[in-house]
Copies of this chain bind each other. A is one copy, B any other.
Amino acid sequence: MTYEAPVDDILLALKTAAGLSEEMDKGAYGELDEETLRAVLEEAGKFASEKLAPLNAAGDRTPSRWVEGNVTTPPGWKEAYTAFREAGWSALPCPAEFGGQELPETVAMAVCEMWNGANLSFGLCPLLTQGAIDALAAGGSDELKALYLPRMVSGEWTGTMNLTEPHAGSDLGPISTRAERRDDGTYRIFGTKIFITYGDHDLTENIVHLVLARLPDAPEGTRGISLFVVPKRLVGDDGSLGGENDVICAGLEHKLGIHGSPTAVMKFGERGEGAVGYLVGEENRGLNTMFVMMNAARLAVGIQGVAIAERATQAAERYAEERRQGRAYGVRAGGMVPIAEHPDVRRMVLTMKAMTRAARAICYATAREIDTSHNASDEAARRTAADRAALFTPVAKAFSTDIGCEVASLGIQVHGGMGFIEETGAAQPYRDARILPIYEGTNGIQAIDLVTRKLPLGEGRVIENVIAEFEVTARRLKGENRPELGRAGERLAAAVADLEEATRWMGEALTKTPALALAGATPYLRLFGVVAGGHFLAKAALQELEESGHAGQSVALARFFAENIAVGAGGLSAIVMSGGHAVLGASADLAPA
């Protein structure tokens, strides 16, 4: 078994970090109860562990291949996808109107973690399709939705997001793919897109590309970008498949990781007539719709970070229990002990576990805010939740994917020399994980988003309230006064105070010295992640103590995290508040532009 879906840990995070039990009791999730939830998770976990995980290494060794314009996915991929679709897993969070199961975002994310933990390259296909569904559902006309959504929700067709061009990556302003209006209300698309995940494949008969392009009379920059649906094969009004559209896959990238997932160069209008496209939303407003989708996708990428960290942690734990080397310090007799008993290895494995749980908690809590933003009974509660989801999303994306890489790297280290040998399987997560801090907005961009757009939400009251909650948790933890918690309460309280101070500093810097605020954005995001992680692990510990009266694994991990990770908050806050001048250099202009 290379990956076992961590159903119990996931349920724990859903209940403590996402507060799902409470929400279900309140009826916020309709019919959903704990029994159903567990059943869904166990069924998904079974599929992930038994059907997807065994294909993970094969996908790495036999990457998706491009042969004369067509992409062949790795052996077993197509059968697995068909089984995935037939089992109804494509449709979890989608509207019932289009055949979806309307499961809450929280549950969808929990299930998404399992696909990606089992097989990150495979998991990207439904992840991107979900993004395309969200964008179409948010911005598409009724006709477009009726034609495309049922087939995408069922998994009969997959979806892609076509944003990046060679000169337009993080900055979409200079996009030059062009769209021409036709009299029949359709458009013709011409241009080249790169880094298109599952841009072509053999899993389904059709692929629905969402493409950003510019009309001839569009304003410059990001305010002149429109969004189009461009199917690989044309679709009749009755949904029947017609001929090929003028869209070709010109090649695949040779990547560090996620070899199973085809990363395509896509050419639109290469044959001359132009690819037939259908406008989504209004002309020149394409980025608005895209951002709706991107926020959801950012959380999902954060979940991928959790997933890869979980996978790496499981492997390292197994290895550390099996591999025997050396004896305890000072002991000369007896056989060798499992390396898990050596304090330094314990530290590595605990760091992996604690970081993974912290990131999971942050992601699930974000998903829960998204759910509440939809299902809360009053408007104010919905708006508050939407703001909180907006605040947490860049942290969920960046913190989780950063620790995904760090945990995967520790995973290799725990394996020693064997970790460097590809057959062992510890190297693949290290390679696969490395894309996560980059795509769907680099982690630097997430940090800038957090600092410049999210901290100011509600004139700073959104972050204030969140920090106030962290403070309550830290106070409760301190109040426990149990020896098993060591100095965890004290450490967490100090970390929250550090975050508060850095947040106040950020508020001022944003108006007075924005360049300094930007220079501190990445350490600020890390600080936020570390404190939020400490808060959620502490909540789990408090709940464990309350329910069982006994200090178990949740207490142990909360303590470890507070004393060994959150304790770094003071340094991070000092970097945020006084490290920026050295970043900008003597010559930098600190005044607001």
Contact = CB atoms under 8 A, between A and B. Distances in A.
A422 B571 CA distance: 35
Given A416-B438, A442-B413, A521-B344, A586 B422 contact: no
A409 B405 contact: yes
A592 interface: yes
A583 interface: yes
A347 interface: yes
Number of chain A interface residues as a range = 35 or more
A80 interface: no
> Could you tell me the dominant secondary structure of chain A's interface residues?
helix
Contacts of A568: 568, 571-572, 575
Given A343-B519, A443-B413, A582-B560, A420 B567 contact: no
Contacts of A108: none
A585 interface: yes
B405 A420 contact: no
Most buried by B among A346, A435, A437, A523: A346
Nearest to A422: B254
A445 to B, nearest CB: 8
A527 to B, nearest CB: 11
A383 to B, nearest CB: 27
A3 B234 CA distance: 49
Interface in A413-453: 413, 416-417, 419-423, 427, 430-431, 434-435, 437-439, 442-444, 447-448, 452
A592 B330 contact: yes
Given A343-B518, A514-B330, A564 B593 contact: no
A404 B387 CA distance: 39
Contacts of A430: 256, 434
Given A254-B421, A343-B515, A413-B444, 16 more contacts: A167-B324, A170-B325, A256-B427, A328-B593, A330-B592, A343-B580, A344-B521, A347-B519, A413-B437, A416-B442, A420-B434, A427-B434, A431-B431, A563-B579, A563-B581, A564-B583
Interface of A: 164, 167, 169-171, 173-174, 194-195, 253-257, 324-326, 328-331, 336, 342-348, 350, 405, 409, 412-413, 416-417, 419-423, 427, 430-431, 434-435, 437-439, 442-444, 447-448, 452, 484, 486-488, 491, 514-515, 518-519, 521-523, 551, 556, 559-560, 563-564, 567-572, 574-575, 578-586, 592-593
19 contacts: A254-B423, A255-B420, A255-B422, A331-B593, A343-B583, A343-B584, A413-B438, A413-B442, A419-B438, A420-B435, A420-B438, A427-B434, A486-B578, A486-B581, A560-B583, A563-B574, A567-B571, A568-B571, A568-B572
